[in-house]
Structure 1
Amino acid sequence: MKRINSNDIAQLAGVSRSTVSRVINGYSNVPEETRRKVMKVIKEHHYYPLISGQLLTGKKTKTLGLFWLGRAAIARDSLTSSYFMHVIDAAAQRGYLVLSCILDNLTEKHNINYVRKIFMEGRIDAGLFVGTSNNEPLIEELVGLDKIVGLFDFYHENEDVPNRLSVNFDRDSGEATIDYLYALGHRKIAVIDGDLSRLSCIHRHESYMRGLIKHSLPLQNKWMAYGGIVKESGYAAAKQMLSACMDDLPTAICANNDGVAFGVYQACEELGLRIPEDISVIGADGHENGKYTNPPLTTYSFDFKEMFASLVNRVIDTVEQKDNIPQSDFIPGHLVERASCRKIELL
């Protein structure tokens, strides 16, 4: 059977071959309606331009694309930068290379076109994405084009999409955190949520709420804040929240992640609050730096090496057309108890 080429795509879409080329290569001087029309034909006929003669024979590239969203986080955070090593190591174990692409976001047109081009040219067998929201139009577009996509922290309930795979944090870490604090005697617990466009932040918020309700603890607006996912935004949220309730402070703060918890430490220091004597703090993720804070940070820790190995291996299994591949995997965490939380004697 003759393989469809760009001339065929142009004829079917009613455009010139050069227009097809501009769409594939992400040029901005193509009207959006024309681009959609060409992409519709491409999808219907499973067309993509091959980048080498070797690929013309149907061989795989043995290369995964790693698309990281958030340039600044890599430069300043050892935990997030370690994700690259986990992906590269897991891929190497299977004989695959990793093409790494660092982008600020998937909302700007030039970033979207750049990712499209890499997939459409067949440079990679599959793409791994870290840092997307849980509803990302480009992801759905790629999945619709039958591209294989692996996602960290992304999940759609009850959707059977075999070429979209994900790995996620367990859904109960927030509830387990509240259980721990309750057992220590805490009854006035504050929560600093993260970016609620991200699945893990949504699940942690819901899990914190389940824990508070289970123990009949108060859900006070003054003890709730949104702190993003980094130290700076955690600091701002904690400073504002604590400054506003100095006459009725919570006895403990649950931070959405360890980066946010580091910001809580800074806010407490500036406000003259001692950890854990005046207020206990607990984070999530298991950041290496948590061992070196003063006092060392109690956290709900996850094995990121295990998480990325799960994602990479299932993506490669899909590339290699193996059977019975789980689309999603929720990795359990565990509590790491250190000195940032104290026991309260109940009267």
Structure 2
Amino acid sequence: MTPASRPAPGSSDRGGATIAQIAGLAGVSTATVSKVVNGRADVAPDTRAAVEHIIHEYGYRRPRKGARPTLVELVLHEIKGAYGMEVIKGVERVAVEHELALVVSELQESRVPGRNWIEAVLARRPAGVVAVLDGPTPAQQGQLRSRGIPLALVDPAGEPGPELPSTSGDNWGGGLAATRHLLRLGHRRIAAITGPPSSLPSRARLDGYRTALDTAGVAIDPDLVRVGGFHLDDGLARGLDLLTLPDPPTAVFAFNDAQAIGVYQAAHRLGLRVPRDLSVVGFDDLPTATWAIPALTTVRQPLRDMAATATRVVIDLARGATAAGHRSMFATELVVRASTAPPGADER
């Protein structure tokens, strides 16, 4: 009997096709299907593609017997730095509540997980996957979905699909608050160092910055907006560019705390003092903001709570809840410290 002539799962099989049914439809052994389902690498690419096509079309019904998931998977572009540690602590908090172990995958600054990652995740069979900034590809999302492994995004860099749960901070409101704070202090030459143009949080912060200037009647100077990449080196390089302009800014809004520290370094190299000669505002309120000298005025977004909420969502989905497409936006808060002052103010 050819694969096409084998009986397909009926409409009553709402849980998807069994391994045996998938094997029949694909014309392969149940052992081969099991390898694909479990993320094993020792399957020919054409065979894997055929099995994945069947799973995508009919779904996959997990065997009723089997061990309860013991893991939750967290995917980060990089672990180094306080940002990643805040997210890890948030996910771990909820994982411990549910007696789940935490597995952390680092993409080493890559924006998209590779094939080795998805195969490893399918083999581990976690209760769910929490991805930060950028998630799995659409094909990888389909593989997770077909195995009943829910996915949620934290602080997504792009627009999540309508079916994908996500948590984020109020980036527009944070950009607005940061810029209005500087305007109230009397600054009018306010620079901005953004993140990558493709970053949704960066675009929202930039819109907040522009809205604050516009509503205050301050013209937006394109020379004062520099594109960065959310790293300290970006703040240093763009800060040097801005502070050596013929008419330099009196304040800089850096779109994350790492960039803000880079601006501090740029000011120091040029013999300028914060905040006497230059006011600086960051974004995130990571622990480094309080360690900086002077302590950094910044916009706080609750990364731990954002990560914890995304983890609860995937665990609820794994237990049968219907939260697909759930979006949570957390309020941001301006935290005023010692890095901002009126322009030309004497430091005391």
| TM-score category of the 2 structures, normalised to the smaller one | 0.7 to 0.9
1:40 matched to 2:53: yes
What do you get for the CA RMSD once the two structures are aligned? Answer: 3.2
Aligned residue for 1:328? Answer: 327
The CA deviation at 1:286 is 0.4
Aligned residue for 1:227? Answer: 228
Q: For 1:199 and 1:28, locate their aligned partners in 2 and report how far apart those are by CA, in whole Å.
A: 38
Alignment of 1:127-166 (within 5 A): 127-132=129-134, 136-138=137-139, 140-142=141-143, 145=146, 147-154=149-156, 160-161=162-163, 164-166=164-166
Farther-moved stretch of structure 1 (225-234 vs 323-332): 323-332
Aligned residue for 2:89? Answer: 85
1:175 matched to 2:176: yes
Q: Deviations over 1:181-210 (max 9, x none)?
A: 111111111000012333322221222222
Aligned residue for 1:274? Answer: 273
Q: For 2:31 and 2:323, locate their aligned partners in 1 and report how far apart those are by CA, in whole Å.
A: 41
Pick closer, same or farther for the CA change 1:221–1:28 going to 2, 3 Å. farther
TM-score w.r.t. the length of structure 1 is: 0.82
Q: Deviations over 1:266-302 (max 9, x none)?
A: 1111122221122110001001121122211101112
The CA deviation at 1:304 is 2.2
Alignment of 1:261-300 (within 5 A): 261-300=260-299
Q: For 1:268 and 1:156, locate their aligned partners in 2 and report how far apart those are by CA, in whole Å.
A: 32
Unaligned runs of 5+ in 2: 1-12
Aligned residue for 1:315? Answer: 314
The CA deviation at 1:249 is 0.7
Aligned residue for 2:125? Answer: 123
Pick closer, same or farther for the CA change 1:158–1:316 going to 2, 3 Å. closer
Q: For 2:114 and 2:85, locate their aligned partners in 1 and report how far apart those are by CA, in whole Å.
A: 23
How many positions carry a matched residue from both structures?
A: 329
Query: Conserved in 2, the CA contact under 8 Å of 1:106 and 1:138?
Result: no
Aligned residue for 2:25? Answer: 12
Pick closer, same or farther for the CA change 1:127–1:241 going to 2, 3 Å. same
SS of the residue aligned with 1:172?
helix
Pick closer, same or farther for the CA change 1:324–1:315 going to 2, 3 Å. closer
Q: For 2:134 and 2:57, locate their aligned partners in 1 and report how far apart those are by CA, in whole Å.
A: 26
The CA deviation at 1:156 is 7.2
Q: Deviations over 1:27-65 (max 9, x none)?
A: 49845x6654432211223237x7xxxx65165314211
Query: Conserved in 1, the CA contact under 8 Å of 2:156 and 2:200?
Result: yes
1:237 matched to 2:242: no
TM-score w.r.t. the length of structure 2 is: 0.82
The CA deviation at 1:326 is 7.1
Task: Percent identity, please.
Answer: 27
The CA deviation at 1:82 is 3.2
The CA deviation at 1:215 is 1.8
Q: For 1:21 and 1:314, locate their aligned partners in 2 and report how far apart those are by CA, in whole Å.
A: 28
Aligned residue for 2:74? Answer: 66
